[in-house]
A and B are shown apart, each in its own frame.
Chain A
């Protein structure tokens, strides 16, 4: 309890406090998904688990990549690799707003001093065929989280509805810690024997990836990988549900969804390389969405997806 009133001192302390808080609220502490994704929503613990009738509660950190946002580590706020903190609870509990505000208190935001506002922001992911209604949450005019009640994912109506909370960790932490440039933010405790800043950890990688994302990534290879991921996803889903080896019914929703995630990230890379025209863009997004829909269709036929 006393910890809440003490301001956190590092990026990692904010993450740890969020973990402790949401664990105390009964969420399963998941780990990041082991693939490149553009946002925490892509983690199957959100995308797939928001489907079907089974209750679910999970929280996790998700490293996220947006190749286009790379700025060689120079911009104070923009990164091509950053962290999101993600909470998904199904069905959304009636006190979700209060739970959320509790998490802000847990990381040292004093509600008596700050101005917290829920400002309309309807969320939509064209690549996932998903949308929901909710808000962006403002703290003193700064967007610190996205708060969404999922209505549809992969073209399926969500019933029950999941409540999703997404925190942009760097931005939130910079605000709480009073830091102006992300690279200056203490990553671990500044009083540690070996204090490390965010820049110590990530400046070089930001630089390296910015160069690769913008100028070096082989677009022919990326394009081919995209086609392959798309084909593999469809091939997986076209298999007979009855596994000939075990004789059991095994619908491979997750392996197929991995290919969908891959295709989505490859599209982001191609986009950053500037080889996708405005008209083609829509077509690519449509192709990824078609995969996401098929994966969602498959998932709801599985046990975890609520099929009996």
Chain B
């Protein structure tokens, strides 16, 4: 069975797209081969800056011939119907066959599709794939209309059979003719060469200084970098994202280590790292004795007679220029905060627009500060400190350093707050109030940080809600879902007992206040905190789903009072979820539903509500009397547990009702002949409903 080798050779493919493109090439090509009837034994895809490659082993040499039987019209059907059938099946009249069916004779057609050779199928499918390849961004070049990520230069496409005979697939895509040729490294290769199989391809590429496998390049980089660092008594700072990127920038990695000028070693570690990483794609190398970043590792794409001396000197020079800038910003910023304080730095925020309908950053900061002050006592923070932290938490947006490196926002705030002599809680809040940034990011726990973080996110949410910029579908340009999840995780992670509705109203009234004083346009006001609370509840459902709590369980708890207290809500939901997973819980739910159904039907039929207390004196059976007793015992137990917010205890008390309810339904006919007894039994069911609904709205549970 032949092996297939494809290489799409182009100008430099952006590093960030390579892995995904190789993956897509493999998936889409093998899928379409299988679809066309060509099964295979194995496949692997590779990428370098200039090529995507795919090897498929053990491909069928041809697709199998297939037969399909199709049932047509009856004998004697109108001529038009028969002709239509012939057209659809692609057969002639004499190929039809008449068969006896229950209702008479019917025409049958057998459609035979002959197998096609693999070369033909590959040619068709590869062309389709090239023309529709899912690049995140593609382009045209020259005078053609073909699109690729960058100009596509050549296509290698061969089938090699077991005897080693090579067949070039006959394919021409906009003038690019497939052949068995490729080339190696741009500067260290020896021109174009022919290949006869994947192994031959891989070996010849290596000879011409191309390491085909990105994982191998990454491994080599990391290993050599580690060796270089270790040999000088240093250690590498891990950065898997950068490693993957750098492996996509070279075909032949050559690792070089250089020194950071002494003058820059006082810069904050994060500044050094960020500057080297974003601009130069350098790895940071740490001196374990001093804990400082003192060296860098850069990865070149070429071996040189001077062992990289020229390359390293050039890189060092660029780094020095970059770090001179960073140092200049750092020193200017320090001087500014020492002179004017961080609040002085924050003054510039008055001229920075947050959103043209929500005012300036300074106005936003004022709102956050007022809100943080209000939240502070609820989270155990000092109100003055929280307000102070909020007033300076965005100041670093005005610093030169953050202007140059936006990703350092917050972090620089912490450094500058410390430099300005502000309390440690305030400095911490400058950094932590942005958190949690994503589902995996840690939730801050320092009270001042929590107060400001909550205020920041709630102001964002109420603001964009007020101007009706809510997320729709996949569009969430202001990251409001992330802000909502942030609020949820801050509350739950710290076990906070706050009424979100109160906070939303308060944040909203601040906005309205701003509107009154003319800072916002009047029509922008729309206090919609109810829909905002519903949005938060939606995000909570998504969050808890990941924890394995079903949406109907949350709905059952959301229907209870106090649902804007997320901590309480989640305690209830967890307890209910656990309860429903037990045997007692499952059966109690069924008993409750049965009681509720009977009751609802009776109420609909009789046009009355059965809520008047049932009386044990009308009980006729032991099962009935036992249920009375059980309900009498459970009601105060459940009430007490709920009062102390011990939902697990409330559920346990409910569990005690399961057996008496089951026994009741087994022994007793609710719709008794005596109207008095029937009414009494319905009232008894009503107290089951009444008691159970105290814990959660079980009517919302599915199943």
Q: Give residues in A with beta carbon < 8 Å to B.
A: 76-77, 91-94, 97, 111-120, 122, 132-135, 139-142, 149, 151, 158-161, 163, 175, 180, 277-279
Contact assessment for B306 and A94 in the assembled complex, using a CB-CB cutoff below 8 Å: no
Chain B residues whose CB sits within 8 angstroms of the CB of A149 once the complex forms: 139-141, 150-151
What sequence of 0s and 1s flags, for each residue 344-357 of chain B, a beta carbon within 8 Å of any chain A beta carbon? Answer: 00000001110010
Note all chain B residues with C-beta closer than 8 A to A139: 314
Query: 6 A-B residue contacts at CB 8 Å?
Result: A94-B142, A114-B304, A114-B314, A141-B280, A141-B298, A161-B142
Would B141 and A161 count as touching, CB distance under 8 A?
yes
The answer to the question of B16 belonging to the interface, with a C-beta cut-off of 8 Å to chain A, is yes
| Contact assessment for A113 and B143 in the assembled complex, using a CB-CB cutoff below 8 Å | no
Q: Which residues of B contact A142 (CB under 8 A)?
A: 314-315, 317-318
Which residues of A sit under 8 angstroms from B353, Cβ to Cβ?
277-279
The residues of A that contact B319 with a CB separation of less than 8 Å are: 141
User: Which chain A residues lie closer than 8 Å to B310 at the CB level?
Assistant: 113-114, 140
B residues in contact with A119, CB < 8 Å: 12, 15, 249
Q: Does B302 contact A (CB under 8 A)?
A: yes
Contact B139 A133 (CB under 8 A): yes
Partner among A113, A122, A159 whose Cβ is within 8 Å of the Cβ of B137: A122
Q: How far is the CA of A115 from the CA of B14 in the complex (A)?
A: 17
B residues 266-281 in Cβ contact with A at 8 Å: 280
Dominant secondary structure at the B interface? loop
Q: Besides the contacts A92-B141, A114-B311, A118-B49, what 16 more A-B pairs have beta carbons closer than 8 Å?
A: A91-B141, A92-B151, A94-B151, A113-B310, A114-B302, A114-B310, A115-B301, A116-B187, A116-B301, A120-B14, A133-B139, A140-B310, A141-B311, A149-B141, A161-B140, A278-B353
Task: Say yes or no for B497: interface residue by CB 8 A criterion.
Answer: no
Query: Looking at A115, A160, A175, A279, which has the most chain B CB atoms within 10 Å of its CB?
Result: A115
B11 cross-chain contacts in A, Cβ below 8 A:
97, 118
Q: Residue A151 contacts which of B14, B139, B249 (CB distance < 8 angstroms)?
A: B139
* Nearest residue, chain A, Cβ from B280: A141
Q: Which residue from A91, A111, A140, A278 sits with its C-beta under 8 Å from B142? A: A91
Q: A76-B321, A118-B11, A141-B315 are in contact. Are A91 and B304 (CB under 8 A)?
A: no
B305 at interface, CB cutoff 8 A: yes
What's the minimum C-beta distance from B49 to chain A, rounded to whole angstroms? 8
* Residue B259 at the chain A interface, CB threshold 8 Å: no
Residues of B within 8 A of A140 (CB): 310-311, 313-315, 318
Check: B87 CB closer than 8 A to any chain A CB: no
B117 to chain A, nearest CB (A): 32
Report if B340 contacts A (CB, 8 A): no
Cα distance A91–B301 in the bound complex, in angstroms: 30
Among B145, B150, B153, point to the contact of A94 (Cβ < 8 A). Answer: B153
Contacts of B49 in A (CB 8 A): 118
Q: Bound state CA distance, A94 and B151, in angstroms?
A: 8
When distances are taken between beta carbons in the complex, the residues of chain A under 8 Å from B249 are 117, 119
Q: Which residues of B contact A132 (CB under 8 A)?
A: 139
Q: How far is the CA of A76 from the CA of B302 in the complex (A)?
A: 29
Q: Which residue of A lies closest to B49 (CB)?
A: A118
In the bound complex, do residue A93 and residue B142 qualify as a contact, i.e. CB atoms below 8 Å apart?
yes
The tally of CB-CB contacts under 8 A between chains A and B is: 104
**Do the beta carbons of B151 and A279 come within 8 Å of each other?**
no
> Is B318 touching A112 in the complex (CB atoms < 8 A)?
no
- Nearest-neighbour CB distance to chain A for B259, whole angstroms, equals 15
Whether a CB of chain A sits under 8 angstroms from the CB of B178 is: no
Which residues of A sit under 8 angstroms from B247, Cβ to Cβ? none
Q: Tell me if B300 counts as interface (CB < 8 A to partner A).
A: yes
Of the listed residues A76, A92, A140, the one surrounded by the most CB atoms of chain B closer than 10 A to its CB is A140
CB distance from A64 to the nearest CB of B (A): 20
Asked if A111 contacts B187 (CB within 8 A), the reply is yes
Of all chain A residues, the one with the shortest Cβ separation from B16 is A120
Question: Is the Cβ of A277 less than 8 Å from the Cβ of B142?
Answer: no
- Bound CA span A193–B20, Å: 60
User: Contact at A277–B315, with CB atoms within 8 Å?
Assistant: no
Which residues does chain B contribute within 8 Å of A161, judged by CB atoms? 139-143
Are A112 and B143 touching (Cβ within 8 A)? no
With a cutoff of 8 Å between Cβ atoms, the chain A residues found around residue B318 in the complex are 140-142
Q: How far is the CB of A32 from chain B (nearest CB, A)?
A: 27
Residues of A within 8 A of B352 (CB): 278
Q: Please, which residues of chain A bring their CB within 8 A of the CB of B356?
A: 279
Q: Are B150 and A113 in contact, with the CB atoms below 8 A?
A: no
Q: Do A115 and B142 contact each other (CB < 8 Å), given the known contacts A133-B137, A141-B280, A278-B353?
A: no
Closest 7 CB pairs of A and B: A140-B314, A120-B14, A118-B12, A141-B315, A160-B143, A115-B300, A91-B143
Complex Cα distance A92/B151, Å?
Answer: 10
A111: B residues at CB distance < 8 A: 187
* Docked complex: B45-70 residues within 8 A CB-CB of A: 49
A160 to B151, CA, bound (A): 13
- With a cutoff of 8 Å between Cβ atoms, the chain B residues found around residue A180 in the complex are 317
Q: Given A92-B142, A133-B150, A141-B314, decide whether A115 and B15 contact each other with a Cβ distance below 8 A.
A: no
Please report the C-alpha to C-alpha distance between residue A134 and residue B140 in the assembled complex, in whole angstroms: 11
| A135 close to B315 (CB less than 8 A) | no
Q: Decide if B305 touches A112 in the complex (CB within 8 Å).
A: yes
CB distance from B394 to the nearest CB of A (A): 14
- B281 → A minimal CB distance (Å): 8
Q: Are B304 and A113 in contact (CB under 8 A)?
A: yes
Quick one: which of B310-339 are within 8 Å of A by CB?
310-311, 313-315, 317-319, 321
Residues of A within 8 A of B301 (CB): 115-117
Q: Which residue of A lies closest to B282 (CB)?
A: A141
Against A, the Cβ 8 Å flags (1 = close, 0 = not) of B149-185 are 1110100000000000000000000000000000000
Contact status B15-A120, CB under 8 Å = yes
Specify which of A77, A113, A117 is in contact with B305 (CB 8 Å cutoff): A113
Contact A112 B140 (CB under 8 A): no
Looking across the interface, which residue of chain A has its beta carbon closest to that of B11? A97
Chain B nearest CB from A299 CB (Å) reads 19
A160: chain B residues within 8 A (beta carbon):
142-143
A160 to B280: give the CA distance in the assembly, Å: 34
Contact call B311/A115, Cβ cutoff below 8 A: yes
A77 with B321: CB separation less than 8 A: yes
How far apart are A229's CB and chain B's nearest CB, in angstroms?
26
> How far apart are the CA atoms of A141 and B302 in the complex, in Å?
13
A97 to B150, CA, bound (A): 12
Residues of chain A contacted by B137 (CB below 8 angstroms): 122, 133
- Which residues in A have their C-beta under 8 angstroms from that of B298? 141
CB distance from B241 to the nearest CB of A (A): 15
Measured CB to CB, the closest approach of chain B to A282, in angstroms, equals 10
CA distance in complex: A134, B139 (Å): 9
Min CB distance B258 to A, Å, is 10
A133 to B140, CA, bound (A): 9
User: Inside 8 A of A93's CB, which chain B residues have their CB?
Assistant: 142
Docked CA distance A115–B356 (Å) = 46
What distance in Å separates the Cβ of B51 from its nearest Cβ neighbour in chain A?
14
The complex places the Cα of A76 from the Cα of B322 at a distance, in Å, of: 12
Residues of A within 8 A of B150 (CB): 133-134, 149
Shortest CB-to-CB span from A90 to chain B, Å, is 9
Task: Kindly provide the distance from the CB of B660 to the nearest chain A CB, expressed in whole angstroms.
Answer: 69
A91 CA to B319 CA in the complex, in Å? 37
Determine which residue in B250, B298, B321 has the highest number of CB atoms from chain A within 10 A of its CB, and name it. Answer: B321
Looking at the assembled complex, report how far the CB atom of A171 sits from the nearest CB atom of chain B, in whole angstroms: 10
Interface centre among A93, A141, A159, A160 (most CB of B within 10 A): A141
* Chain A residue at smallest Cβ distance from B299: A115
CB-nearest residue of chain A relative to B13? Answer: A120
| Residues from chain B with Cβ under 8 Å of A117 in the complex | 249-250, 301
Q: Which residue of A lies closest to B140 (CB)?
A: A161
Could you say which residues of chain A place their CB within 8 Å of the CB of B149? 133
Return the chain A residue nearest B356 by Cβ: A279
Chain A nearest Cβ from B613, distance in angstroms: 67
Q: Which residue of B lies closest to A157 (CB)?
A: B140
A residues near B314, Cβ cutoff 8 Å: 114-115, 139-142, 175
* Nearest CB of chain B from residue A51's CB, rounded to whole Å: 15
Residues on the A chain within 8 Å of B304, using CB: 112-115
Q: Mark B121-147, 1 if CB is under 8 A from A, else 0.
A: 000000000000000010111110100
